[in-house]
Structure formats: C-alpha cells, structure tokens
Amino acid sequence: MEGQIPYDDYPVVFLPPYENPPAWIPPHERVYHPDYNNELTQFLPRTITLKKPPGAQLGFNIRGGKASQLGIFISKVIPDSDAHRAGLQEGDQAVEILKTAREISMRVRFFPYNYHRQKERTVH
C-alpha cells in the first residue's frame, strides 16, 4: 500500500443529475415519429435584431456571464414582445452581442444543456 492515496483522501466529484435517455425508436420509424426531431437547424447560430426606442423594454432577461463560466443565456422572453416576435427563446446562448443606442443585434444559438447547468448554479 506504500505510495497509494487513502480512499478517504480522494476528491469528491459532483456529476450533473442523470437524465433518462429517450426511448429507443427503430430507424425506419424515426422520420415521422413526433418524439424524434431530425431538425438540427434549431442549434445553428442565428442573428436577432431588435429596435429599441429610448426608454423601451427589450422584452427579455439574461443570466450568466463571466462568473458562471458557462456564458450568457436568455432566461426569459416576455410573450408578445418584440424579442418574442423576433424568435428569441429561453435557453438561447448569446454568442455575440452588439449594443447601439437604438438597436441591439445578437448572434444567438439554442444550447439547452449549458443553460440547464446555468440555472442549477444560479441562487434564487
């Protein structure tokens, strides 16, 4: 046992909660199955541009930043807001944000895995 680390001295590792995988669907049934989404374009970056009159609300909230080390995510989109109509959704990760006086242009991508990790780290 010489040179070995005692069992109690190993570091504790916290893993994300286990998520049950979706039920297996035979390949020939996947194309039209409602629980199987073949559409990968939802994860591609897209640009959202919002006009912002002085004093107006943008219609969304963000969460994250440097402290979280997971990025900046859209945490809430107000229904019927310009942000909602432009296609912004909860779980979008801000890849790039450009702020100007009257307009905000964001490059976003839907990235729900890190967003759920971000929510777990946030103290409510």
Quote the number of domains for the chain: 1
Give residue-wise pLDDT tens across range 31-61. Answer: 777 777 667 677 788 888 888 777 777 788 8
**2 within some domain:** no
Structural domain including 53 reads 7-121
**1 within some domain:** no
**100 within some domain:** yes
The amino acid at 104: I
**46 within some domain:** yes
Tell me the C-alpha distance between 31 and 44, whole Å.
20
Return the CATH number at 99. 2.30.42.10
Question: Which residues are 64's β-sheet partners?
Answer: 72
**Residue 82 has what pLDDT?**
86
Reduced to 3 states (helix: H, G, I; strand: E, B; else coil), residue 11 is coil
